[in-house]
Chain A
Amino acid sequence: MPLLRIEGVAKSFGNFRAVDKLSLDIRAGEFFALLGPSGCGKTTLLRMLAGFETPDEGRILLGGNDIAQVLPHERPVNMMFQNYALFPHLSVRDNIAFGLKRAGMARKDIATRVAEMVALVKLEGLEKRKPDQLSGGQRQRVALARSLARRPQVLLLDEPLAALDKKLRESTQGELMELQRRLGMTFIIVTHDQEEAMTMAGRIGVMDAGRLVQVATPRNLYEAPASRWIAEFVGDINLFNGQVTARDRGRLTVSTTEAGALAVSELWPPVTKEVVSVAIRPEKVKLSRRAPATDAGASQAINRLEGVVIDVNYLGGITSYRVKLESGAVVRSSMANTARLDVDAYLAGQRVVAWFTADDCLVLEQ
């Protein structure tokens, strides 16, 4: 039995179906991310777990008990709000102690727990400040400490890092993961930022239009997306539409109008449709001046596409190129800048061969 089981939960606002018969199991101690574009229903789902919305149908089982109709203040679940929702009239200490006082904890124990929480989020010395005397990052920590103080069975985090700048966001991601591991608590985070989800979560549930379209580890989500929509939503991808024209021992040949015939390895589950899309991530597309060695000797088929570099974007760690093929289609390639002085860098206007292996290709239904 998982810690949290969401069973056929649905919620509509008027005619808008925000969450559509969604089922999901979350294990104890898991760091789970709900990822999706805005309006996909992820926040509504989180609010139903917190108790701010009541599902129209379905059950939410926490440790075996249905909590779908339980009021927010009676749930062993706490939430960290996107805008932090710190009480402006209370000090940092009183904000953190708020939930403990309501739980009827003894005065002495409250003081101990607050001190523990303050240390946990490294806010020592700021206990007497009011929220408006804190920086954005400090407020975020107070909000986290406040939601953790009651030791909830599940901590819900609604876009917890959205208001922080990039550097702070990245360091906070690491701290959140560290904290979750140390406390062994179950975290459910809602985010629209796929990098954030991939960095922190053990499993990611991708939502679209109120439904869960894929639940997978970050790696599987990226390397084996279940649909074309997910492939495009998570990371960058090159897509070529075509038809399967030949099958030979796990090797498919897909003939595309934009990139000609492409050799593709068939992975599980087998491709049943004839009309498909071949997808290849930009970092798996390599560029070279001349065509690489032929298949002879190589363990797998290589696809070669000739074209002209039309765009070079130097991003520091990587450089991303756009290569225009003879068909007019554009292939994106990104290559790591492994050397400081790169004499081999490609320039716009240069003729190149963009190549990738059959194993790196994905076959997706259109």
Chain B
Amino acid sequence: MARAATRLTRFNMTSLAAGLAFLYLPIVILVIYSFNASRLVTVWGGWSLRWYHEFFNDRAMLDAAWMSLSVAAVSATLATLLGTLAAVGLARGERFRGRALFSGMLYSPLVMPEVISGLSLLLLFVALNAERGFWTVTIAHTTLTMCFVTVVVQSRLTALDRSLEEAAMDLGCDPVRAFLMVTLPLIVPAIVAGWMLAFTLSLDDVVIASFTTGPGSATLPIRIYSEVRLGVKPEINAICTLVIAMIAVVIVIASFASKLSSSQAESAAPL
């Protein structure tokens, strides 16, 4: 029985193929049609890079793409800073009062419906009379993605042997130096993975961005969404293909980083 389960039976093959098709067929179709020469999305007119060319000449679309990338980069960086600090506080700090509450609240954005997060942030920005645009979206994305960074970094920190920091202190480091010289280099892969995760999440988001953005500062997903409402242009396919490619690269790097991180954690063990 156990042997049969490890082999790919015909049934397993079929279900695997069906599952993959279900997940990736729409994306594959989108990618293929992005190279379609025809103006009609559903009619195949031969291979062409026409719509990529169109996109690189579409000022409004490029602005939106630039806006998205800068929001993603800035918010990911802020989220990584805050998230790492929170992770260190939770994993290394003494058991302070309200620790459970703090960690629970930190994880709430993971499960909170985005509409609610978006709406509450919108109300906050309106109440503060903040002009909506780049910074409001960036702040909103930072609050969304920070908890993901915290989860990644905290799990790495808990896996890390406490005695490494103690050894550093024993050898003459004060606690801050011990952290900087020993702990930080060992959690860098997790921090990098956290940043990548935050970056892609920010790039993906429509709901929170649509609540918190202002006129003239639409992110790429919002821009695409509003274009699509007027009918799907093949140019959208081209943009989506580029975004998919970028996210795929980032995710591959992030998974390499976290693999590196866990193999280092193993090598820190005595045998």
Which A positions have Cβ atoms within 8 angstroms of B? Answer: 50-52, 71-73, 78-79, 81-89, 98-99, 102-103, 130-132, 136, 139, 146-147, 150, 163
Contacts and interface: CB of A to CB of B under 8 A. Distances in A.
B170 A83 contact: no
B98 interface: no
A83 B270 contact: yes
Given A52-B166, A73-B178, 12 more contacts: A50-B166, A71-B169, A71-B174, A73-B173, A85-B164, A88-B267, A99-B171, A102-B173, A130-B267, A131-B267, A136-B271, A163-B271
Contacts of B270: 82-84, 136, 139, 163
A150 B169 CA distance: 13
Interface of B: 161, 163-164, 166-174, 177-178, 182, 185-186, 264, 266-271
Contacts of A72: 166, 169-170
Contacts of A139: 270-271
B172 A103 contact: yes
Nearest to A131: B267
Contact of A102 (B163, B171, B268): B171
A71 to B, nearest CB: 7
B191 to A, nearest CB: 14
6 contacts: A51-B169, A52-B169, A73-B169, A78-B170, A88-B264, A99-B172
Given A81-B163, A85-B161, A73 B268 contact: no
Contacts of A130: 267
Contacts of B269: 83
Contacts of B267: 88, 130-132
B174 A73 contact: yes
Nearest to B269: A83
Nearest to A133: B267
A139 B271 CA distance: 9
Nearest to A101: B172
Most chain A CB inside 10 Å of its own CB: which residue of B185, B186, B267: B267
Contacts of B172: 73, 99, 102-103, 150
A90 B185 CA distance: 10
A98 B168 contact: yes
A12 to B, nearest CB: 16
A139 B268 CA distance: 11
Contacts of B163: 81-83, 85
Most chain A CB inside 10 Å of its own CB: which residue of B163, B169, B172, B268: B172
Nearest to B174: A73
A130 B174 CA distance: 24
Contacts of B171: 73, 78, 98-99, 102, 146, 150
A81 B165 CA distance: 11
A149 to B, nearest CB: 8
A225 to B, nearest CB: 33
A140 B164 CA distance: 15
Nearest to B188: A89
Contacts of B169: 51-52, 71-73
Given A89-B186, A132-B267, A163-B270, A83 B161 contact: yes
B163 to A, nearest CB: 4
- Closest 9 A-B residue pairs measured CB to CB? A102-B172, A132-B267, A99-B171, A85-B167, A85-B163, A83-B270, A72-B169, A88-B268, A89-B185
Contacts of A52: 166, 169
Contacts of A87: 164, 167-168, 182
A212 to B, nearest CB: 24
